[in-house]
Amino acid sequence: MYSYYFLFSTLYFLLMLIDHVTLKIEAGKGGDGVVRWRREKGIPFGGPAGGDGGKGGDVYFRVLRDIQALSIYKHKKEWSAEGGEAGQKRSMHGSNAGDLFLQIPLGSVVYNREYDKKYEFMEEGDFIVLRGVKGGLGNENFKSSTNRAPEEFTKGEPGEFATFDIELKLIADVGLIGLPNAGKSSLLNALTRAGAKIGDYPFTTLEPNLGVYFNYVLADIPGLIEGASEGKGLGHKFLRHITRTRVLVHLVSAENDDVAKVYTTIREELGKYDKELLKREEIIVLSKIDTIDEKTMKEKIKALEKASKSKDIKVLSLYEDKTVKEFGDDLIKILDVRH
């Protein structure tokens, strides 16, 4: 038993999707202005020639279509853009610093604690989030008719700073939901060849998996459990990924004795987390029908019809190409209509 939990914990930490991070980020400081003097042959007492400092680097979020984009922040939570170069002699301006680009996944929700603002990044590209500051002034700027040899200069100021909470919410056309071991990963693989890990034990899927089926994105949401809306298991971590799916495919394994209770349990957890999810279009699938006989299958279908008030319960055996194809065809028809 100990070795099983050790293995599970190891797999969890190795495969867990990082979908929430808090980062402290600072834009680049402006370079300092300097005090310098002209020193040229024949001009022993030249005037002020201290250049201005360069501008500090800006900070951008680079939005990528990569759900693993936050993994680079696992061990580093503080980032800063480079500061501008100090001013130079002969009135030369210090070099501006390069900008800092930090990658985040498409679909991220970002909260800026300092400005109390929330942003959703639904398009790929580069978006500026913090600005670097211009450099300080060299002593040449302080020359006047009454002050021909100014010693004044200004230092560069710090760049903008903020703490960002970054949370990934997957964007998908279809979310595959259900209790652990309901057959979600197997169905995703059968339809899209996504290569999701599968097995005959709960919580095989430790992170959402994505696949594309006729240009529609399918997301295998890891198994929910009773109490998920209260954070039990990995409830909140997984439930947030359902909120942006257009259609929910609810798989109920025929291996369960009480399929109606299984169905209502997941529905209750969805409603507790976000009542809007109960309004989402739902396709109910009785999966793993190869594990029961026809009479039992009909009884379980009736139980699901009563619990869901639906007369269109799909049946599925991943060992029967016919049922997989029929389900895939039905799914495309529904998505095409809703597109």
The answer to the question of residue 8 being in a domain is no
Task: Report if residue 220 sits inside a domain.
Answer: yes
Instruction: Give the count of domains, the chain.
Output: 2
Q: Whole domain around residue 328: which residue ranges?
A: 172-338
Query: Does 11 map to a domain?
Result: no
In this prediction the pTM is 0.66
Average pLDDT score, the chain:
84
DSSP assignment of 157-194: PPPPEEEEEEEE---EEEEEE-STTSSHHHHHHHHH--
Contact 246, 173 (CB under 8 A): yes
pLDDT at 338: 61
| Average pLDDT of the residues in 256-269 | 91
Q: Encoding tokens for residue 46?
A: 């030249």
Q: List the alpha helices (DSSP H) in 75-219.
A: 184-192
> Among residues of the chain, what percentage have pLDDT more than 90?
53
Q: How far apart are CA 160 and CA 118, in angstroms?
A: 17
pLDDT in tens, 291-310: 999 999 999 999 999 999 98
Q: What is the CATH number of the domain that holds 117?
A: 2.70.210.12
Q: Is residue 133 domain-shared with residue 147, that is, in the same domain?
A: yes
**Rounded to an integer, what distance in angstroms lies between the CA atom of residue 102 and that of residue 104?**
7
Q: Is residue 28 part of a domain?
A: yes
Q: 121 with 200, same domain?
A: no
Digit-coded pLDDT (tens) for 245-254: 889 999 999 9
Q: What is the rounded average pLDDT of the residues 312-339?
A: 87
Query: Measured in Å, how far apart are the chain's first and last C-alpha atoms?
Result: 48
